[in-house]
Structure 1
Amino acid sequence: MSRTDVELVEEANTAFYETMERGDFERLSELWLDDDISCVHPGWPVLSGRGEVLRSYALIMANTEYIQFFLTDVKVSVAGDTALVSCTENILSGGPAEEAGELGPLVGQLVVATNVFRRTSDGWKIWSHHGSPVLTESDEEQGDESPA
């Protein structure tokens, strides 16, 4: 039984996050198109081109000891050779601790993401990733505080 385009795109999207969790930069770079790609990490400017985008992932991987993604609200739309995936990234991450061999404190973060894929002869490849932080109630309360 052949898999549908939606299933194949879901697999490509899952591979993207699993590859980041493993810190496998070589495999991550294979998931992206060779063409003009773009990426927006939460709080970062738009990154354009394969060099800039892949450098950003190398930097993130080099400075993140542990990262795990729990994806929720995943929606996949396919139109011809283009696919759009929207999801919520429930991220748990931690960096190196002061003492060698220990993991720093784990931090939770919510990011809404849009991943755009294009069909190629080698399967579905990432064309663009855009992540935006989700404000929590505590974030909103901090923003509402004004000096007296």
Structure 2
Amino acid sequence: MESQRKTFFASPQEAETAFYDARNRGDIEGLMAVWADEDDIMCILAGCPRASGYEAVREAWRRMFSGPHADVRISHALVTQGALQAIHSVHETLSAPGDRTPRPVLVVTNVYARGPLGWHMVLHHASPLPAEQDGPDLPKILH
């Protein structure tokens, strides 16, 4: 595959900032510049099937951008970083003009890997944040 990468990211945070900037602009080229060119990348958009490999990930985002535009704001970031990998867990809040009710908050995992050409995304996984439940009947789930 011919390299699609256009940008060197010195840190995973720099890559994440570029990812959300491109996403908010609906810029597929800018967004895909954040992704590693590898065939083992993976993207799971909320409510969508898993996309594996560069071309499938690009197609998933193309479909996402072909729908109504929504701005994304991230919050509640938890970051774990080593020498070659970083894991960012964030909450995404989406909003679009005309929204009458708030959209569900998404809990998102973004994984970045460091290679000879800097930091690039290898995984984006989004799913709805479970509704908070209170009380003693809340199950304790361990993975």
TM range (shorter): 0.7 to 0.9
Contact 2:95 2:103 in 1 (8 A): yes
How many Å separate the matches in 1 of 2:104 and 2:21? 17
Once the two structures are superposed, the pairs formed by residues 65-80 of structure 1 within 5 Å of their partners are: 66-80=69-83
Q: Specify the SS of the correspondent of 2:103.
A: strand
Runs of at least 4 residues of structure 1 off by over 4 A?
A: none
Once the two structures are superposed, the pairs formed by residues 1-148 of structure 1 within 5 Å of their partners are: 8-35=11-38, 36-64=40-68, 66-93=69-96, 105-106=98-99, 108-136=103-131
Larger CA Rg, structure 1 vs 2: 1
- Over the aligned positions, Cα root-mean-square deviation in angstroms equals 1.8
Q: Which has the higher strand share?
A: 1
- Tell me which amino acid in the other structure corresponds to 2:61: Y
> Mind listing any 5+ residue stretches in structure 1 that lack a counterpart?
1-6, 95-104, 138-148
- Tell me which amino acid in the other structure corresponds to 1:134: L
Identity of aligned residues (%): 31
Structure 2 length normalisation: TM-score? 0.76
How many Å separate the matches in 2 of 1:25 and 1:74? 24
Q: Which has the higher helix share?
A: 1
